[in-house]
Structure 1
């Protein structure tokens, strides 16, 4: 698969850890991961935003592995935050997981299905 990061010079530049666009060519697999919630497989909910955010990324990773893929295959991330006050913590924890990978990204402040959940993350991956 060929992946090109696109950040048009005549549009706003990304502000940390993402690309304005990701162009894919010659991919064989395309995976759409539904919004991953911050609970464990046995339905336990971690306390606090950092623990919930890390759990969400563990859940994303589990879906990727089940599909024979890895975080290196992520091309798009959409994050739903229950409160904008978690923006910086979210960015830091997402960066811990993604490292230097720069997928296309959107963050939305939204009411989440369960008010105890502080975030939800959906991902598109390709190989």
Structure 2
């Protein structure tokens, strides 16, 4: 679900419909001009209210979530120019990066990866991303 009402400065808010966004007053993504900033996104499936099991499955779901938000903004994962990745356990790095490589082959966004304590110990990966609309043009 997207909130298409522009606010000050032409900002457009994108929502996934997640209860977290309403409870904690944030947007899945914010569009300002040609820039799309995606909030930290995990492998949580909002439709079924479940967290995918395993690092690969969480990463695949994370990219489905990101793709849906970017689609509402008029963008795709091919428009991503920057990724910040947070891993709860470095041991999952290779498995997560294999999915990352499949997803971004040929796009090659700038990427920073850190190991961090995430708010839920069952979450293996969280990413936030920046995209620029029409970056491929």
TM-score calculated relative to the size of structure 1: 0.75
Distance 2:42 2:108 in 1: 22
Q: Tell me by how many angstroms 1:95 deviates.
A: 1.1
Distance 2:76 2:52 in 1: 24
| Cα offsets for 1:27-85 (capped at 9, x unmatched) | x5101100001111132111111101111111111111010101111000011000011
Q: Tell me by how many angstroms 1:96 deviates.
A: 1.3
Q: Does 1:125 align with 2:131?
A: yes
The residue that corresponds to 2:36 in the other structure is 31
CA RMSD of aligned residues (A): 1.0
The residue that corresponds to 1:60 in the other structure is 66
Q: Which residue of 62, 78, 81 maps to 2:84?
A: 78
What stretches of structure 2 of length at least 5 have no aligned partner?
Answer: 1-32
Q: Tell me by how many angstroms 1:90 deviates.
A: 1.3
1:107 is paired with a residue of what secondary structure?
strand
Runs of 4+ in 1 over 6 A off after TM superposition: none
Q: Does 1:45 align with 2:51?
A: yes
Q: Which residue of 80, 101, 106 maps to 2:112?
A: 106
Distance 2:55 2:97 in 1: 12
What stretches of structure 1 of length at least 5 have no aligned partner?
Answer: 1-27
TM-score calculated relative to the size of structure 2: 0.70
Richer in helix (by share): 2
The residue that corresponds to 2:103 in the other structure is 97
Structure possessing the higher relative contact order (Cα contacts under 8 Å, 6 or more residues apart): 1
2:118 is paired with a residue of what secondary structure?
coil
2:36 is paired with a residue of what secondary structure?
strand
1:115 is paired with a residue of what secondary structure?
coil
Q: Tell me by how many angstroms 1:121 deviates.
A: 0.7
